[in-house]
Structure formats: structure tokens, C-alpha cells
Structure 1
Amino acid sequence: MNAYVVGLIVPIVILLFRTSTNRKRRGSPADVGGDPGYAVRNHRFASVISSAWEDVTTLAEMFEHSCRKHHDKLLLGTRELISREMEASSDGRTFEKLHHGDYKWVTYGNVFESVSNFASGLANIGHVREERAAIYAETREEWFIALQACFRRNVTVVTIYASLGEEALCHSLNETEVTTVICGRKELKSLLHISGQLDYVKRVICIDNDVPSDASSAQHGWKLTSFSDVERLGRENPVAADLPLSADVAVIMYTSGSTGLPKGVMMTHGNIVATVSAVMTIIPNLGTNDVYLAYLPMAHILELVAENLLSAVGGSIGYGTPLTLTDTSNKVKKGTKGDATALMPTVMASVPAILDRVRDGVFKKVHAKGGFSKKLFDLAYARRLWAINGSWFGAWGLEKALWNFFVFKKVQAILGGRIRFILCGGAPLAADTQRFINICLGAPISQGYGLTETCAGGAFSDFDDTSVGRVGPPIPCSYIKLVDWPEGGYSSTDLPMPRGEIVIGGSNITLGYFKNDEKTRESYKVDERGIRWFYTGDVGRFHADGVLEIIDRKKDIVKLQHGEYVSLGKVEAALLGSPFVDNIMLYADSFQTYCVALVAVSHSALSEWASKQGISYSDHSELCQKEEAVKEVHASLLTEAKKARLEKFEIPAKVKLLSDPWTPETGLVTGALKIKRDIIRKTFQEELSKLYAK
């Protein structure tokens, strides 16, 4: 065999070996029971895991174990508030700006002492283990302490989004028969509005000291106590811990639900420990040197798992808010530091909407500078993109380091300059945003796929997997199975990739919905081997290397008049790539032949375009009415649709621009920023009707 032939064969053999190894290393077929389908497990474990420790099966044990091991290490940090100031904008409106100082830290040992004291205080004010307590507050240090304290008394915690509407709040508290509510001053005001409708609340513990003067009135039927007084009472009158078992319900988590009233998901201690244990095995070198920035709602399972994970490995948790996240965030006083700059975290969790805003902000500044700076940035970005896509012609090694130092260092400084890992969940992450994080922040970003019903567990992309649009193999505590959905045309025997409804099984699958047996029976099944499965309603496919990709959702399918099926969520995910779109909802009427869309516009992008076009307007509401603006945004959507190779019938034929943002406070999106489709449809019913009437 001559050298030429060897030269051809050897690289091919190496490539085939690498491909084969890569296909085996992320997921492996699993032999499981239940409904027939294509099942996969994490290849590194012969079966699903339930705990990373031999002697730890509950969250109370996990926290105590970590506090003893890391007694003198810093655990919780909160920034000192120096001042609140009101600033006027160019249009005459005033906005609150916050001036925060440095982080003040508390050690593991001191936090454990506070947790133990608060747990004793709960017993002293009359709360018994058979009663449920609700935490209804923004993410903060006291939220974490209250949670762990309840666990030490084996008290089930009901978690409620701080942004939840009054009807849903009343429903959640009454359905779970909550007797003690732990809340902030702002949330206490909401409780006052519905106090007459609350059937079981006896005690309210306010985290803040400056409570409304009428909050303790006997007419509300509750006794008001401060957080610090409960802690003091417990310190003076200690009560022995009453620790839970693995099968005990730790949390009833009320999702902010995209349809109707929220449902309470019952999670056992074992469920959450399983997810924490699984994620510990797949984030590289996670440990005592890591600093986590906590700003997402802790009433969301992603944040609750993340904070318990960091405390389990000896990391530090610094608290912030979405409105003070960076130096240029809305509530940060000009010239002062945002949370990320002050904390300099190494690890973050995020939802796509927040990362999209970081990306858009950076690109906006780059385009505004123009000239040599823009050309240099574009060159650096292109060189690194080639490398991440596997090209030998991209920037590697020393060149990569130089680009990071001279070009991307300022971008990395936005989030503190030390980020080494980002976990993204809650919704699909746009490919452009994922690449932006890889290149500009120089850090791997792993997409996670899970639900409240699976304790956030499901799939988690490997840190070294640079592919886009996929969510990784099953995490070690889960099996994932694809079950046939004939109506949608998906089958687990499809080639080249099995497809079907995603069904997740394992030790992280929750018990079901509180006081809702019908919905529980619809979505949960236990097979002949005792494995508990949750039917997600999402549709996915497995790649050859065992990595899952989400491709559809059963509930979002609408059949148009001529028989075409439109996946609303899939189209929305594609159109979110438009720079003019802050949020979007596609709407399809089965009696029509085309789709329409409601677009909550990006004020900055639309204003910049209007300025370049010389278009005058008094406010954004007026700008959104202008025909030129509607045409420009629609053209941008068509561009994104073409990139995503959408069918003609999937592309919105008409759009309505909306100037007001969709936030959890408006009730149009959930705390995780997912759109509430039914509520948006009802809110803008007149606008949708006009789109079809034209």
C-alpha cells in the first residue's frame, strides 16, 4: 500500500473513530418499561442516580452536611443599599435609581445558625409540621434561610411568584391551606388586598421592618411578626429539629402557568436531591471557588435547584435583581456598579430573554461606534466563530487569547469578567445568542431542558458540546423516552432520528398536582418496574450521539383552513431573532388560511431605525402605529423566517406592533418570561380580529 493511499485512509479511520466515540459518549439506549418508545439514559451511569451521597437523602441533610464541611466559607452575600434616587428622563417621566455598595457576606456556619433559629422561631409562634408555610417574596437572602428553616421542621413550603396576580395568589394560598406566609413589604401590600378572601392564614412574617401601618390590624385575621423577631425568638427558645424523610413533600411549587389558574406541583425531598446530585456530576469542577449570581425568581425550579446546588458544593451565592444586573440596567444609578460587576460571578443561570438583551446591547454599541472598532470586532467575531464551528482556519490558542484581551474583554466585563459557565433554561435559546456567549464571554453555555414537574431535570448539554439548537443527553437522574404521536406524524422508529413526545422518567419525577388527581392521571404514569414517568407534551428527536433536540409542542399545533399544521412555539422561536422583537405571539385561526402576529417591539431598535429614516414621533405608541414601522418589522420577520426555512403558511402575513413591554407584572408572561398565550389572546382580541378583518 503506497503512502498516498495510507494518507487518505488514516484520516478517514480517525474521523470514523472519533464520530463513533462521540456518538457513544453522550447518551446510550436504555431498557425500560412503560409505553413503547425509544429510550435513552446518560451513558456514564448504568441506571438513574438518586443521591450523590450515601447518607444524604433530604435537602435538610444536604444543607447541614455542607454547613459542617464548609463552616467558615462565605455562603450568602447581599449588597448594601446606599440610597434611592429619582431621575427624570428626556420625556419628563421619573424613574427610581438605586445606589448599591459592596456585598456583605455571611458564612455557612452563621447561615446554619440563622436557619436553626428561624426553624425554632416557627415552632415558638405556633406553626406545626402538619401546616404549610408559603414564601411569597423576591429572591433574596432571607428566602433561602426561610426555605432551609422550614425543611428543618419538616414543613412543606408553598412557593409563589412575587409577580403573581391576586386571583392566582388567593387560589394558591387557599388550595394549600397555608397558615403562615413569609413575605416582603411589597408582597404584604398584595396580601392586604385579599385578606378577606384568605381562609386559613393565621400568621404573616414580614422580611422587611418598614411594614404598612394597617398590616397588623385584627380585621385581617392574622398575627404579624417580623423576620428578625422570629429568628430572635428561636435563638432564645431553641427547639430540636424535626427532620423529614426522602419521600416527604418538600415543596408545592405553583407555576405561574401560561393558561388558567396555576397548578401546584408536589416535590419530595428525594426529587430535588436527585436533580442537584445529577447536575453536580456534569458541571466541570464546580466547587468552593465558584461564586453564583442569584437574580432569577427562587419560586422557579431552575433557581431553587441552582441555589441548593451551589450550597451543596461549598460555593458562594450573591443576590441581585434583573433590574440591577449590569452597570447599565434600568435601576442602576449612573456611575455605580451593577450586581455582576460588584460580585464578579463565575457561574450563572439565565433564561434566554435576558441573554438576548445582553447580546442586543453589545451589538448596538458596536454598530453605534462604527469605523475601525466595528471592523475589528467583526473580524474577531468571525475568526472565533470559525473556530467554534470546527474550522482549522479559525482563531485558536494564542490568537484566541489575543482577541479575548483586545476585543472581548470589555464584553466579558459586563457580567463581571470571571464567568466560566452559564446554564440556560426555561425556553429555547437562539443559536445566535448561544454563539455570542461562546465567543464574547469566552464561556461554555449549556442548555438545560426540564419542567417544574421533573424538578428541572431532563436533559443538559455537555460543557464541551458546541452544537446549537440541542439540549443535551439525559441527566444522570433521568431516562428520556420518545413515544409515538401519530396525529402529529412523529414516530420513535423514524429515520434517521427517532421522534416522538418526550417522556421523562426517574428519581426526579414529582408526585403530581396538588388536589388535582385528574390532571395528575393525564400527565403521570408509573410503569410495571416502578419507574415514574411524566408526559411533557413536547416533541423531540434524538441525534445519533444520544443528544435531544426539541422540535415541536403538541399543545401549540394549530390546523389552518387548508389542512396545514402550524407549530406556534417553533415559529415564535425563529422570529425572536429579529432585532425589532422584544417578544412575539403567533396566532392562527383554524378558519383562516394564514397566521398573524402580535409583536412587543424593542424600543431601542425601533427608535434607532426611525432616527435613521428621519421619522418623527411623540412616543413609542405613535411610532408603532406608523405604516413604515410596521412594514420594516414585518420585513425583518420575513428575513428571520427565511433563515429558519419556515413554510409560507407558517410566516405571519400581518403583524400588530405593541409599544408596551410584556413583563410578569403585566400578567402577559410568566416569571420565567414565557408568554401566557390565552391571556395575551384575550387581552388583544380586538387587535387580532382587526388583523384578520383587513
Structure 2
Amino acid sequence: MGLGILLKRNEDIQLKMEPEILNEQMVKTEENGQNIYRGKSLPLDDHNTTRYGSDTYTLYEIFENGRKKGGDYLGYRKNGEGPYIFYTYEDIAQKMTHIGSGFINLFGFKPPIPEEQGKDGVEPLVGIMMKNCPEWLMILWGNVCYSFATVPVYETFCKKSARYILNTTELSVLNTKLEFLKQITETITCTGEEDLKNKKLDENEPLTLKTKHLKYIVLCDDDLPYKENTYDIDYEKIPETGKLKNVRHYFKTLLNIGIEIISLKKVEEAGKNNPIPHVPPVPETLYMICFTSGTTGNPKGALLTHKNFTTNSCSATNDLIPPFFEITNKDCHISYLPLSHTLEQIVCFVVTYLGCRIGFYSGNVMKIVDDIAILQPSIFITVPRLLTRVYAAIKSAVEKGSSLSRNLFDFAYNKKLNLLKSGYCHNQTIWDKLVFSKIQKKFGGNLRVIIVGSAPLDEEIITFLRVTLGCFVLEGYGATETCAVATLSLWGDYLYPYGSHVGVPLSCNEMKIDPVSESEYIPNSKTDCEYGEICFRGRTIMKGYYKNQEETKKSIDNDGWFHTGDIGRILPDRTVQIIGRKKFIFKLAQGEYVSPEHIENIYCMSTLVEQCCIVGHTYASCLVGIIVPDFDELRKKLKRKSMDSVNDLVSTEEKQSSRLSFSISSNSLNISELTNKEICEIEKVKDIILEDIIAIGKEQNLKGFEQVKNITLISDPFTNENGLLTPSDKNCRPAIKKLYEDVYNKLFQQLGQNTKGNLL
């Protein structure tokens, strides 16, 4: 049975990747004195031929390829409860025709004529502002049928950015749901808190539109009340519960300022009554204007064509799927990362191309575990933050177990780790049956592949998940401008002799590392590895930024290379490692360069840390940080270590001072009785967390100058809503530094550091 195989030999379960491929994963050539890197997979031919289809030139053919395979397609849970209900591929084929035809019949949209296809500015623009749901993709596919271009408006964008997108694109139609009517009303009338800034709104003054072109809002809720025998919305009957508080007021306000509100059902009815022949796109047809986060100014709209997305989708399919994988309609992807992002769209297109299913989460990330248990997905695309929390939760559960259960877990883990080192990753061992099945069932029990994007994930966590879940865990890297996926780790690369990495370029791309000046970045360790700014060239690179030639010229050079703004290096096995954003890497007073994002990712491996933001200072020789604790884990850990008595945690000096906002009137006061904010005030709690993250930093080989020397704890998390997270859930560093400037400066002053300069 060797290495604990339950039923089959390893070689009967999966193939093993050849060592010569893993030892040197990219091909290197030279151009104009610079090294050019490509993956070893052959680029697709002019027909985008893969082993799953051919003659795939646009997203229109992507859908048709999946439709030929047939079966269930888009699934949802009614009101977030019960089993998943699926639309079939044929159902969606009908709906996309009806929706696209309805846009033409109701709103006067004119598809581009054949001679105009691919020319700038000829495609009608259709806006979408809602969370992931079947209607999102129905509308998108309706746009594809008639060569309309889609403009996602992130629901997490600040109102200024959303207003900028609406005005710049001159959108006339916005598809949304009831829960966003308040946000839309405040955005287009400048009446939200963000715009008023504590000014009182004069209720007698009539509201005016601050967006010149928006005329129609299409409501996509599936349970709207309608007037008798029509699909006209009876807004006075809309229930005002939960997120829909005062929704009738905002509905009426929009009507009063001249916005026509129509149901998606009415759009479909108009299209069904008068279906229009499809006007399929060509490769150069604009598919989407996808706006970036805009953390340091107005968002930039990346112009992405059908060629960009189709090439990326087919290449990812070809490069990603192992030859021994059998793909069927039973395979399912859970869609929860925002469809406004290119990454989630690429995954949905790959899944569609293969004729698989997509199940949408119920809209609440905190309840995604319930959705996963019901859907039992085989494909899971996620971000490091969630997997870091999963890792911490499993480790914590193991730590709390008995000595016997801990020893059994460690023994089983080492057996599976040896299997991984021998070149196999699966869940068909006796150790999966006896030890890891409970963990695997938390993810539905059918997981075959996890793909991680958005930010680097530590190799220890990736290895841990490969062992315990018994599935492929792949890291990808890219940007909106590269159509999401630019690099991807190989399915057979399970070990990290040189640290974590994001694999190699897709077969449709080539990559180079552009040297950066000495003043911007110098490697901290002596190495022969190639360092610099990561650049890509290929068929997936955007045409440019919408109405912004200046930024386009800054990003895409004369030779067609897109400059990502990310610093990376080529490792000895010719894989790519991300170091951090070029603009965020800074130099300490003594001359050492640091990447705060790298440090933050490591500190978030602590079970006690939910979020953190690390900064430097112009004249400071060290780093400090703000930590948002994981309060549940913190309380549990203190209880396990019999340190949950507040009387024991608080020092005599603190008791005598007036610094604490709470009083210790009893020796029996427990940490569980304190609020999160009160816990953050206790010095010993801060010391416990600081000690923990420093220990983890040492384990992960952080150098002394990369470790923080002082921290403070806060109870308010960084969120999209408070502007401290970008739409892609990364720290919005400018906003965090601005909000907590005084806090950071105080941390530096406590260390005797000069604070005359600026936070870095």
C-alpha cells in the first residue's frame, strides 16, 4: 500500500511531473540585451485550439462551447436557504437573447454594424452594480450576444469613484438590485455622508442629478412586487426589512429626479416579444471597461477586448488542467469573489468553456461555509486572507485537542507530507479517511483545485492545505490590465526549495524583469537572481486606459510591454516570486529596504491577527504597526492558558492610572466580559500579540530590521465600507496612514524616533 494509499497505487491516481520540468520551469531568450521568459507550454494556435474545443475567437464561442456539452449551468439558493437551484445552459441561452433584445427594444441600443466592429467607441455600454448572482452573468452574456460592452461598477467603490465612472463612461443604463438603491441615490445626487461631510441636508431644497447621462435603472431582484398582469414594479409593496430599510423612499426619489426604474423581467419580456438576431463580436470588439481601485486618484478604466479574455481563458484551460483530470458537468465552481474583478470572470469563462457548473454564494461571505457545504464545489478561487484564517483555525483546533489527537494529526500530516515530497497530491490515503476527512468535508468534500490570487500566500500555508485537503493549491498572479491571470504555478510543483512563488507566465504571455534604479530598490540578500519590475507582453494585455492616453503611455511602452508596478525576482528554478508593490517598498533611515506587504502577510499567519498595516517613517530606523486582533481566537487562547482574568492581565500601574476606559470592580471580571475596544487597551494583551508575531516573523526568516518594534491594537477592522480596503480587499495604505497618522507617530515617539518627516 506504500505511503498510506487506501485503494490504489499513486501512479494509478495521478501522473507525476517530470523533475526536469520543475527544475527549470521557464524558457529564457534574449531581446535587446534583456532576458525574456516564457512558460514551457506551447502557445495556442490561431484557432485557440485546446483539448476541449477549437475555433474559439470570442466569448460568444466560449459560451457556445459549453452549451454544446449541456446540463446545469448557473445555480443559486433561494433567499440564501435550502438546496441550490440551477438554470441550464439552454435556459441561459434563451435569457441572454431576451435580455440583449430587450435592451435594444426598450433603450434604443444599436449594436455595431460589421464594418465598425473593433473600432473605438462603437459599442453601447451597459453598467452592472450588484453582488455575484445568476443575473450578473445573464446580463453579461446578453451583452456578448449583441456586441455591447460591460462596465462593472464596484458596489464597494466610494461614491466619488462610482460617480466618476458613471460620468466618464456616460452610462445610460445601470443594472442593480434593491439593496443598492440608497447607495446609487446618494452617489448621483451627492447626498451621502462622504459628500456632505457633516453638512446638514436641506430637505426643502430639491435634489439634482450630478450624473448627466444615467436614465435607466434595471432592478434584477427575483422577488419584486408587480402591478397586476404586468412586470411594472409596484414599489409601495416592497418590504422594507433588513438591508431594504427606507428603500421605497430611495425608489421614489430616483423617480422624482427623472430616473426610470424597470424590472429585468420587463426587459426579458420586451426581448421575448421581439427577439433580435444576434450580432456576435469579433476578437477586437471591446468586451469590458474594467476600472481599477483608484487608491491614489480617480480609477482608471482598462479597455479589454474579446481577444484578451478569450485568449486568457483558453490558455488558462490548456495550462492549468492536468492531463489526467476528467472534467464533467458534475464539476462546480463557487462564485464569491466579485464578478467586477477580472479574475472571477476568467474563472467563470473557463468553467463555462468546459461545460461545468457555477454556484453563487448567498451574498454573505461570513456564511460561505454553509454555501460550500450545500454546493460541494470542486473548484474554489479565493484570496490569501481567507486561506490564512482557515489555516489558523485548523491549527488552533488541533492545538486544543488531546495529546493523543495532536500526535495522530502530526503523524498523519508527516505521512501525507512525505507523499507530497514524492510528487503526489491527492486525498485517497488512509490518513485522509481517518484524520483529514472532517477538514475536507468543511469544504464540501469534493475539492479538486484551489486557486489563490490577489496577494502572495506563504508556502507553509500552501503546503499545509495540500496535505490536509488533498487537492491542488495553485497560486496565480496578474492585474486587471493583463486580464487577471498572467502567471500560474504548475499543478505538479508541490515543494518550494526557494520560497513561495506564483509560477510561470501563461502560454499566451511573455515576461521580463525591468531593472529599477538603485534609489528605488536594492535586494537585501546577495544572490544571482534577477530582480526588478515585472512586465508582460502578449495577446491578453489591455488596449489602454479609457480616455486616458497619459496613463496608457506610462503603463505600456513602445515595445508593447505592460509595466505592472510590482517588484519581483526570478528564482533559481525559473519561477516568479513577488516582493511587493514598487510604490510601497521604502528605505529605512539606516539604508535597508523593506516591503511592508510581505511583512503583513507573514504577521497575518498568527491566529491572533485578523488584519495589520505596517509602516515606516522618513527618519526612522524601524517599523511599527497597527493590529486588528482576531478577538475570538484571542479570548480562546487566553482562556486556554488560564490568563482570562482581567485582574491578572492588567498591571498595577494600569489599575491606578486613568488610561483604561473600564473599571476593575471585581477580581472575578473575565476577558469575555470586556468589549473588543476595551481588550485593545490592555498592555499585556498587546505584548502577547507582539511576542506571537515576532516569533512567527523569525520562523519565516524575517530579518531584524523587518520586524516591528512597536504596535497598537484597534477594534475597528479595515473594510471596503470605511475605505480602508480596496475593492480587491487589499490594505488601502494611503487611507490607513491618513486616518491613523497620529497613532503611528505616537508609536515612533515611544521608541524615541524622529517624526518630523512622513509616514512610509
Give the TM-score, by structure 2 length.
0.80
Give 2:544's aligned residue: 512
Q: How far does residue 331 in structure 1 lie from its aligned partner after superposition?
A: 4.4
CA–CA distance in 2 between the matches of 1:175 and 1:609? 51
Are the equivalent residues in 2 in contact too, given 1:477–1:506 (CA < 8 A)?
Answer: yes
CA–CA distance in 1 between the matches of 2:725 and 2:712? 18
CA–CA distance in 1 between the matches of 2:43 and 2:219? 47
Question: Aligned to 1:245, which of 274, 278, 282?
Answer: 282
Structure 2 counterpart SS, 1:314: coil
- Of 314-323 and 468-477, more deviation after overlay is shown by 314-323
Are the equivalent residues in 2 in contact too, given 1:36–1:483 (CA < 8 A)?
Answer: no
Are the equivalent residues in 2 in contact too, given 1:153–1:243 (CA < 8 A)?
Answer: yes
Question: Aligned to 1:558, which of 586, 589, 594?
Answer: 586
Within-5 A mapping of 1:485-496 = 485-487=516-518, 488=520, 496=528
- Of 212-221 and 150-159, more deviation after overlay is shown by 212-221
Q: How far does residue 193 in structure 1 lie from its aligned partner after superposition?
A: 1.4
Q: Does residue 680 of structure 1 match 2:731?
A: no
Are the equivalent residues in 2 in contact too, given 1:258–1:669 (CA < 8 A)?
Answer: no
CA separation of 1:248/1:104 partners in 2, compared to 1, >3 Å: closer, same or farther? same
Give 1:402's aligned residue: 430
CA–CA distance in 1 between the matches of 2:473 and 2:294? 26
Could you tell me which amino acid in structure 1 is paired with residue 503 of structure 2? G
Could you tell me which amino acid in structure 2 is paired with residue 475 of structure 1? L
Question: Aligned to 2:503, which of 472, 479, 482?
Answer: 472
CA–CA distance in 1 between the matches of 2:426 and 2:185? 60
Q: How far does residue 19 in structure 1 lie from its aligned partner after superposition?
A: 5.0
CA separation of 1:413/1:566 partners in 2, compared to 1, >3 Å: closer, same or farther? same
CA–CA distance in 2 between the matches of 1:272 and 1:567? 32
Give 1:267's aligned residue: 304
Q: Does residue 160 of structure 1 match 2:216?
A: no
Could you tell me which amino acid in structure 1 is paired with residue 608 of structure 2? F
Question: Aligned to 1:203, which of 216, 227, 232?
Answer: 216
Give 1:365's aligned residue: 397
CA–CA distance in 1 between the matches of 2:473 and 2:132? 23
CA–CA distance in 2 between the matches of 1:486 and 1:40? 21
Q: How far does residue 397 in structure 1 lie from its aligned partner after superposition?
A: 9.6
Residues 143-167 of structure 1: CA distance to partner in whole angstroms, max 9, x if unpaired?
A: 0001111111211111122222211
Structure 1 counterpart SS, 2:127: strand
Are the equivalent residues in 1 in contact too, given 2:392–2:605 (CA < 8 A)?
Answer: no
Give 1:74's aligned residue: 72
Give 1:86's aligned residue: none
CA–CA distance in 2 between the matches of 1:635 and 1:515? 50
Are the equivalent residues in 2 in contact too, given 1:48–1:506 (CA < 8 A)?
Answer: no
Q: How far does residue 573 in structure 1 lie from its aligned partner after superposition?
A: 2.2
Give 2:757's aligned residue: none
Give 1:636's aligned residue: 692
Q: How far does residue 693 in structure 1 lie from its aligned partner after superposition?
A: 2.4
Residues 185-243 of structure 1: CA distance to partner in whole angstroms, max 9, x if unpaired?
A: 11222111123222210111011126633425443322110111111111111112222
CA separation of 1:676/1:593 partners in 2, compared to 1, >3 Å: closer, same or farther? same
CA–CA distance in 2 between the matches of 1:308 and 1:47? 17
Give 2:42's aligned residue: 45
Structure 2 counterpart SS, 1:191: helix
Give 2:180's aligned residue: 187
Within-5 A mapping of 1:25-44 = 26-31=25-30, 33=31, 36-44=33-41
CA–CA distance in 2 between the matches of 1:39 and 1:331? 44
Q: How far does residue 390 in structure 1 lie from its aligned partner after superposition?
A: 4.4
Unaligned runs of 5+ in 2: 1-16, 112-122, 189-208, 226-234, 236-246, 647-669, 751-760
Q: Does residue 107 of structure 1 match 2:88?
A: yes
Could you tell me which amino acid in structure 2 is paired with residue 262 of structure 1? P
Give 2:135's aligned residue: 142
CA–CA distance in 1 between the matches of 2:631 and 2:39? 44
Structure 2 counterpart SS, 1:525: coil
Give 1:93's aligned residue: none
Q: Does residue 571 of structure 1 match 2:608?
A: no
Question: Aligned to 1:613, which of 643, 648, 651?
Answer: 643
CA separation of 1:219/1:323 partners in 2, compared to 1, >3 Å: closer, same or farther? closer
Give 2:682's aligned residue: 626
Give 2:358's aligned residue: 317
Q: Does residue 603 of structure 1 match 2:640?
A: no
Give 1:89's aligned residue: none
Q: How far does residue 174 in structure 1 lie from its aligned partner after superposition?
A: 1.1
Question: Aligned to 1:288, which of 308, 328, 338?
Answer: 328
CA–CA distance in 2 between the matches of 1:638 and 1:574? 10
Question: Aligned to 1:434, which of 443, 454, 462?
Answer: 462
Q: How far does residue 127 in structure 1 lie from its aligned partner after superposition?
A: 4.2
Q: How far does residue 47 in structure 1 lie from its aligned partner after superposition?
A: 7.7
- Of 240-249 and 212-221, more deviation after overlay is shown by 212-221
Could you tell me which amino acid in structure 1 is paired with residue 346 of structure 2? V
Are the equivalent residues in 2 in contact too, given 1:50–1:477 (CA < 8 A)?
Answer: no
CA separation of 1:50/1:637 partners in 2, compared to 1, >3 Å: closer, same or farther? farther
CA–CA distance in 1 between the matches of 2:537 and 2:603? 32
CA–CA distance in 1 between the matches of 2:47 and 2:700? 39
Q: Does residue 448 of structure 1 match 2:469?
A: no
Q: How far does residue 544 in structure 1 lie from its aligned partner after superposition?
A: 3.8
CA separation of 1:439/1:382 partners in 2, compared to 1, >3 Å: closer, same or farther? same
Percent identity between the two aligned chains: 28
CA separation of 1:639/1:472 partners in 2, compared to 1, >3 Å: closer, same or farther? same
CA separation of 1:559/1:321 partners in 2, compared to 1, >3 Å: closer, same or farther? farther
Q: How far does residue 511 in structure 1 lie from its aligned partner after superposition?
A: 1.4
Structure 1 counterpart SS, 2:600: helix
Give 1:213's aligned residue: 248
Could you tell me which amino acid in structure 2 is paired with residue 44 of structure 1? S
Structure 1 counterpart SS, 2:621: coil
Are the equivalent residues in 1 in contact too, given 2:453–2:476 (CA < 8 A)?
Answer: yes
Are the equivalent residues in 1 in contact too, given 2:312–2:508 (CA < 8 A)?
Answer: yes
Give 2:11's aligned residue: none
Q: Does residue 338 of structure 1 match 2:370?
A: yes
CA–CA distance in 1 between the matches of 2:604 and 2:290? 29
Question: Aligned to 2:553, which of 518, 521, 529?
Answer: 521
CA–CA distance in 1 between the matches of 2:715 and 2:689? 13
CA separation of 1:396/1:63 partners in 2, compared to 1, >3 Å: closer, same or farther? closer
Q: How far does residue 259 in structure 1 lie from its aligned partner after superposition?
A: 3.1
CA–CA distance in 2 between the matches of 1:479 and 1:490? 24
CA–CA distance in 1 between the matches of 2:695 and 2:149? 50
The structure with more strand, counted as a fraction of residues: 1
Are the equivalent residues in 1 in contact too, given 2:47–2:56 (CA < 8 A)?
Answer: no
Could you tell me which amino acid in structure 2 is paired with residue 157 of structure 1? T
Give 1:589's aligned residue: 617
Are the equivalent residues in 1 in contact too, given 2:343–2:485 (CA < 8 A)?
Answer: no
Give 1:350's aligned residue: 382
Give the superposed CA RMSD.
2.4
Give 2:658's aligned residue: none
Residues matched between the structures, number: 637
Structure 2 counterpart SS, 1:204: strand
Q: How far does residue 396 in structure 1 lie from its aligned partner after superposition?
A: 9.6
Could you tell me which amino acid in structure 2 is paired with residue 122 of structure 1? F
